[in-house]
Amino acid sequence: MRKISKIIAASAMLACASASFSQNSAAQPPQNVLQLSATGSTEVVQDWLVLTLVTSKEGSDAAAVQAQLRQALDAALAEAKRQAQPGQLDVRTGAFGLYPRYGKDGKMSGWQGRAELLLQGRDFARITGTAAKVQSMAISQIGFGLSPEARTQAEGEAQAQAIEQFKARAATLARSFGFGGYTLREVAVQSSEGASGPRPRMMAMEAKAMALGDAAPVPVEAGKAQVEVSVSGSVQMR
């Protein structure tokens, strides 16, 4: 019985010692750790056009307004799908909503609705030409961006720059502090895209409605996008 008691006591002391050692070890802050960051960037021509077509209807009967919206959207879809081509001209519907309309006296006077159709892709001429043929909807916005392939390539180039700059800075700073080198502790990579060319164009539906009969494509000109990748983290100087 005494042997068992001694074993239990010894085990308890060992556990306490281990716990105390672990706490002391965890409490010690890391030494000679350097925090730093680097950024790489590249400028590329925007190769993706997003053109938004809209139609709005209003009336006293909600069902009638909704039916008019559906009719206009169906006609636009039929025309756009005839010209659709994956990656060059992709077609998808956007927002579709019906809302009560109120008069100056605050009382509901009817209903108003809005439907959207988005044409997007790399073939600018095909997109604008298709939009010109759609008679049931008007252009409300034109925006530019990067295709998934162009964005991936640009991010890869900017990331390579950022990583090389991070490594060079880490080596230089480590030597400046009197160390022979470093090892990587942790790292985070983030990317962002900003437009450096024309901003998205907003177009009044009334102005477009005046030109619905001439079927002339709207002129568009893409700008450039600035793609940046930042690498941040910490290194252990040795």
Render pLDDT for 104-156 as a digit per residue (tens, 0 to 9).
Answer: 888 899 999 999 999 999 999 999 999 999 999 999 999 999 999 999 999 99
CA dist list (Å): 203 to 13, 52, 129, 164, 195: 79, 10, 17, 44, 19
pLDDT above 50 (res 2):
no
Burial string for 198-225 (b: 16+ CB within 10 Å, else e) reads: eeeeebeeeebeeeeeeeeebebebeeb
What is the spatial distance between Cα 162 and Cα 37, in angstroms, rounded to a whole number? 9
Least confident range from 63-67, 110-114, 155-159, 215-219: namely: 215-219
pTM of structure: 0.72
pLDDT band at residue 29 using 50, 70 and 90 as cut-offs: confident
